[in-house]
């Protein structure tokens, strides 16, 4: 707003914006009243940042915290207090190896790993009576605790090396329950077995309770003849007649014919067949053998070397009370023959 006064006159020119009002009370005086606020002025420019103030006073030192501790207790109740800066060591013993196997990161998802490795073969790993060393700690008799050696109950055991049992004057007993057997095998082949009744068998299940009978006779023939048993007679030509009974043998137990050993005198028999004959009674014999063995003896005048006719793999099993007979059929005329018949008998089935 501008107000100009003219000293020469009473005229005043005033130009004002609303809402300012002007009144004249005297030709030489002007009264101005403002009935409302004027327009807000523009914001002034931002002043410059002042200088940095002085450094504040240093605060007091804080109080030191208390060191953390915890307790460890062993199996018999002894306790130790572990404080800050102290260490706990896991001490290795015979047969026990302790190592850190993972030392990163120590978080819940990846904790540190401490591994205990136990060597069960360590010489002094066990001291309880049921774990005695058999070579150093046991004298006399001792009991094997099957609960501590669970494989004792399994059907097959394999040795990792040679084993020698030294009895040092003490008996070694193998106790079996009725029906059980003790066997020595090569792979699946049974070399030797003993059953709970004391029957000893060799490879092929052949009993080793051996019995033998003998025969000597003058054959003077190249035809099939039947050995007389335990007598020095002329051999019979048949088996079912009353006079043929001297050629029969009744075994006392179940068994098997293993071999016949012969020696020939005065002439070379050539290729010779020894036959095994079996029947349930004397009247049902057949002159056709159920098993044969053929050998050409080595003849050196006036006799042959002992000749073995092997029946171990033949069908020569028999039962107690069967009637057995044995034939001889040489290529050439044969004279004096001595023979021994070898049987394996199984008394365990006939007690």
CA dihedral sign of residues 87, 88, 90, 91 = positive
pLDDT mean across residues, the chain: 78
CB contact at 8 A, 342 and 212: yes
282 phi/psi in degrees, rounded to 5? -65, -30
Q: Stretch 177-184: mean pLDDT, rounded?
A: 81
88 pLDDT more than 70: yes
Q: Stretch 187-196: mean pLDDT, rounded?
A: 76
Q: Nearest Cα to 287, choosing from 230, 224, 350, 201?
A: 224
132 pLDDT more than 50: yes
Residue 172: the pLDDT is: 85
Q: Of 101-105, 122-126, 139-143, 335-339, which range is least confident?
A: 122-126
For the segment 290-314, what is each residue's pLDDT rounded down to a tens digit? 999 999 999 988 888 899 999 988 8
269 pLDDT more than 70: yes
270 Rama sector, left if φ>0, alpha if ψ -120 to 50, beta otherwise: left
Residue 351: the pLDDT is: 44
3-state secondary structure of 208: coil
The rounded percent of the chain whose pLDDT value lies above 70 is 68
CB contact at 8 A, 264 and 339: no
pTM for this one? Answer: 0.48
b or e along 27-58 (b: 16 or more beta carbons within 10 Å of the residue's beta carbon)?
eeeeeeeeeeeeeeeeeeeeeeeeeeeeeeee
Q: Stretch 80-106: mean pLDDT, rounded?
A: 87
276 pLDDT more than 60: yes
Residue 291: the pLDDT is: 96
Q: Of 113-122, 261-270, 284-293, which range is least confident?
A: 113-122
348 pLDDT more than 90: no
62 pLDDT more than 80: no
Instruction: Give the pLDDT band (50/70/90) at residue 115.
Output: very high
25 pLDDT more than 60: no
119 pLDDT more than 80: no
Instruction: Give the pLDDT band (50/70/90) at residue 322.
Output: very high
- Residue 190, token pair as written in the block: 């049974």
In sequence order, what are the residues at sequence separation of 6 or more whose Cβ sits closer than 8 angstroms to the Cβ of residue 46?
none
For the segment 207-232, what is each residue's pLDDT rounded down to a tens digit? 667 788 888 888 888 899 999 887 66
């Amino acid at each position: 707003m501008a107000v100009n006064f003219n000293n020469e006159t009473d005229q005043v020119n005033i130009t004002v914006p609303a809402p300012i009002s002007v009144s004249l009370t005297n030709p030489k005086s002007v009264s101005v009243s403002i009935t409302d606020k004027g327009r807000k002025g523009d914001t002034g420019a931002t002043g410059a940042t002042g200088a940095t103030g002085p450094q504040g006073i240093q605060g007091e030192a804080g109080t030191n915290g208390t060191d953390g501790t915890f307790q460890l207790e062993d199996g018999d109740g002894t306790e130790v207090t572990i404080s800050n800066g102290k260490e706990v060591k896991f001490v290795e013993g015979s047969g026990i190896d302790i190592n850190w196997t993972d030392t990163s990161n120590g978080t819940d998802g990846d904790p540190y790993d401490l591994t205990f490795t136990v060597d069960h073969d360590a010489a002094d790993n066990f001291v309880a009576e049921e774990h005695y060393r058999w070579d150093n700690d046991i004298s006399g008799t001792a009991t094997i605790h099957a609960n501590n050696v669970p494989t004792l109950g399994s059907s097959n055991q394999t040795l990792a090396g040679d084993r020698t049992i030294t009895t040092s004057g003490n008996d070694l007993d193998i106790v079996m329950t009725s029906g059980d057997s003790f066997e020595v095998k090569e792979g699946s082949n049974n070399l030797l077995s003993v059953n709970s009744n004391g029957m000893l068998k060799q490879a092929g299940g052949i009993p080793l309770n051996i019995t033998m009978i003998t025969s000597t006779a003058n054959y003077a023939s190249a035809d099939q003849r039947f050995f007389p048993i335990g007598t020095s007679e002329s051999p019979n030509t048949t088996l079912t007649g009353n006079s043929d009974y001297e050629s029969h043998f009744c075994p006392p137990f179940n068994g098997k014919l293993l071999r016949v050993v012969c020696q020939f005198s005065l002439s070379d028999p050539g290729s010779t067949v020894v036959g095994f004959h079996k029947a349930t009674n004397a009247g049902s014999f057949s002159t056709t053998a159920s098993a044969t063995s053929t050998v050409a003896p080595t003849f050196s005048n006036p006799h042959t070397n002992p000749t073995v006719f092997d029946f171990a793999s033949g069908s020569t099993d028999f039962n107690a009370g069967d009637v057995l007979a044995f034939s001889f059929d040489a290529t050439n005329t044969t004279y004096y023959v001595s023979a021994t018949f070898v049987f394996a008998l199984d008394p365990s089935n006939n007690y």
